[in-house]
């Protein structure tokens, strides 16, 4: 049966510990936009539950105009979240994370609705989290070995992932991979603000917040349709590059503005030292001959100093960002805990009603108010 986002919940627990005894509740979220053809294959590929791991599915419909929702219901998806209109992949991803947390997930697995990722690899993906070795696990597609990737795309993937590893201070070989698992703690700590893609921003956030990130090797399938996320390699690189710069600057403003200020300071210092050198050698007419060095060098020095001071101010304001992140984390924790208590109350009332019916009592418990 499909349900809304407030159907079920669990209490706040430390990382790498299941909320329900020894059973790990893993919710597999699938953001979808017109995926009626491939969604059944994705759902059939999801492994069966075991005595220690219970798998549940959550489909996020990002304004589909085909029969995606009907197919999800027919296939027995546990939960469905619907956007009235298309809001984009990052918004769909974040809606899924928020819903899964309220539903009481111990681990959240994200996969795509186009069936490019192997659902059979989910047990290997979540194993480092269950073992307590990681907060986030990324599925490494081993892009260098993918036959249907062009040489240009392989190079771009390799270079892009290298840049992200430097920016995030993590060791993930396949940064754009959307096949990933999050512990409950990691899901509470991260929040998507990008309007293009969540993959890079999440990694940089995780690295800067000192979450443990690892990866496992997976295979991948060739998708049957072109990407809906970008319009070619150049568009992808441009938008992902902007995401990397913006997110890195948000967490390392002093470093970012220092890098920007350095060329101006270097050029300015060179021109001013050039003037001083010639002034010491030929003090007579040096001022008139090399006046342009003083003007241009002074201008570059001024721009460099101002840029550096902007970085200092941005770094000081970073304290407010860290406080806001902690406030958001605690509010989300409270929201999850509140939803769990509401769900527990509803379950108790339903159980009481069943007992009364068994004993022939027509009295019904009060109807609970739902958010």
Question: DSSP secondary structure string, 183-223?
Answer: EHHHHHH-----SS-SHHHHHHHHHHTT--EEEEE------
Is residue 341 very low, low, confident or very high in pLDDT (cuts 50, 70, 90)? Answer: confident
Contacts of 115 (CB under 8 A, 6+ apart): 38, 41, 42, 45, 221, 223
In this structure, what token pair is assigned to residue 244? Answer: 């990397």
Q: Pairing between strand 136-140 and 213-217?
A: parallel
The CA distance from 337 to 334, in Å, is 5
Q: Are 246 and 299 in contact (CB under 8 A)?
A: no
DSSP letters for 268-279: HHHHHHHHHHHH
Phi-psi region of 320 (alpha: psi -120 to 50; beta: other; left: phi over 0): alpha
Is residue 226 very low, low, confident or very high in pLDDT (cuts 50, 70, 90)? Answer: low
DSSP class of residue 224 equals S
Choice among 8-12, 162-166, 274-278, 310-314 with the minimum mean pLDDT: 8-12
Distances (CA, A) of 163 to 169, 190, 192: 10, 20, 20
Q: In what order do the strands lie in the sheet with 24-32?
A: 79-83, 53-62, 24-32, 107-110, 180-183, 136-140, 213-217
CA-wise closest residue to 173 among 142, 201, 218:
142
Q: Pairing between strand 107-110 and 180-183?
A: antiparallel
Element (H, E) at 32: strand 24-32
pLDDT of residue 356 exceeding 90, the answer is no
What is the pTM (predicted TM-score) of this model? 0.80
DSSP letters for 7-30: S-------TT--SBTTBEEEEEEE
User: Radius of gyration (Cα) for the chain, nearest Å?
Assistant: 27
Q: pLDDT tens digits for 147-162?
A: 778 788 888 888 988 9
Choice among 59-63, 142-146, 358-362 with the minimum mean pLDDT: 358-362
CB atoms within 10 A of CB 21: 7
Q: pLDDT tens digits for 30-89?
A: 999 999 999 999 999 999 999 999 999 999 999 999 999 999 999 999 999 999 989 989
pLDDT at 1: 44
Query: How far does Cα 281 stand from its chain's mean position?
Result: 60
Is residue 234 very low, low, confident or very high in pLDDT (cuts 50, 70, 90)? Answer: confident
pLDDT of residue 306 exceeding 80, the answer is yes
């Amino acid at each position: 049966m499909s349900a809304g986002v407030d159907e079920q919940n669990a209490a706040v627990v430390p990382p790498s510990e299941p909320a329900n005894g020894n059973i790990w509740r893993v919710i597999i979220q699938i953001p979808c936009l017109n995926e009626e053809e491939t969604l059944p294959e994705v759902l059939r590929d999801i492994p069966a539950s075991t005595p220690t791991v219970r798998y549940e599915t959550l489909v996020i419909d990002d304004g589909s105009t085909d029969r995606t929702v009907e197919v999800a219901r027919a296939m027995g998806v546990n939960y469905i979240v619907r956007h009235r209109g298309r809001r984009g992949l990052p918004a769909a991803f974040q809606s899924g994370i928020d819903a899964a947390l309220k539903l009481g997930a111990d681990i959240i697995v994200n996969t795509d609705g186009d069936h490019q990722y192997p659902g059979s690899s989910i047990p290997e993906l979540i194993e480092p989290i269950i073992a307590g070795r990681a907060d986030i696990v990324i599925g490494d597609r081993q892009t260098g070995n993918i036959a249907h990737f062009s040489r240009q795309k392989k190079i771009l993937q390799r270079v892009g992932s290298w840049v992200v590893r430097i920016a995030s201070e993590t060791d993930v070989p396949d940064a754009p991979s959307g096949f990933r698992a999050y512990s409950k703690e990691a899901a509470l700590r991260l929040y998507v603000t990008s309007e293009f893609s969540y993959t890079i921003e999440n990694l940089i956030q995780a690295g800067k917040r000192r979450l443990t990130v690892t990866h496992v090797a997976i295979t991948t399938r060739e998708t049957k349709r072109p990407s809906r996320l970008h319009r070619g390699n150049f568009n992808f690189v441009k938008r992902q590059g902007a995401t990397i710069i913006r997110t890195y600057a948000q967490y390392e403003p002093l470093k970012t503005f220092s890098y920007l200020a350095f060329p101006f300071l270097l050029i300015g210092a060179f021109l001013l030292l050039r003037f001083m050198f010639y002034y010491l050698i030929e003090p007579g007419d040096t001022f008139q001959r090399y006046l342009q060095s003083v003007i241009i060098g002074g201008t570059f020095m001024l721009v460099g100093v101002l840029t550096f001071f902007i970085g200092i101010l941005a770094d000081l304001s970073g304290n407010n960002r860290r406080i806001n992140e902690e406030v958001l984390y605690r509010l989300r924790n409270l929201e999850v805990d509140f939803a769990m208590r509401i769900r527990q109350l509803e379950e108790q009332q339903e159980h009481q009603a069943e007992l009364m019916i068994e004993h022939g009592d027509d009295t019904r418990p009060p109807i609970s108010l739902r958010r």
